[in-house]
Structure formats: C-alpha cells, structure tokens
Amino acid sequence: MTAYQLPDGRQITGALTVKFGQQARGTGRWIEQPAAKYECLVCETTEQVIGAEAVTRFTHTIRTSHPATCPGHPTSTTTRKAA
C-alpha cells in the first residue's frame, strides 16, 4: 500500500482516529475510555493507545514519532527490508 495522492501533489500517508470516551455525570468515572489509533498507509502499521493521558500524549507526538521510524517515509532513519 502507498500514500494516497492528492491532486495538488501532496500525499495522505496515515489516518488518526480518536474516540473521546464517555464519563459518568458527577463521578468523573469513565464509562468508556478514550482511545486513539494511527494507521500508516506507507508501512501498514497500526499504533493504538487507550486512556485519557495516553491519548493526549499520543495525539501530540504521532505526527513526528511515526515518520521517524517508518521504513517507507522519506525522512525515516530506518531502511525498508526487501520483500
């Protein structure tokens, strides 16, 4: 799989999905925990986290942390293994 080409030359290389979860009214307890998932269209890797703090950290860093380790990303320091 490769990045999705846009008409203006840019590429979509991944998709970030965030579920905000649900808290019980008045108690602050989580009925459903927040979750985030990043799917890379270049290397076909999926990374996911669960929990409010983890989701916050993940969404703030995934744009820089994944390309640095993605074997198919042009700025990666790793090399892609031959198939």
How crowded is residue 66: how many other Cβ atoms within 10 Å of its Cβ?
A: 20
| Residue 63 or residue 34, greater confidence | 34
Strand order in the sheet with 46-50: 14-19, 35-40, 46-50
Say whether pLDDT at 42 is over 50. Answer: yes
Q: Residue 2 pLDDT > 80, yes or no?
A: no
Which of the pair, 6 or 1, is modelled with greater confidence?
Answer: 6
Q: Over range 2-15, report the average pLDDT.
A: 83
Percent of the chain past pLDDT 90, that is, above it, reads 47
41 contact partners, CB below 8 Å, separation of at least 6: 1, 2, 3, 4, 12, 13, 14, 15
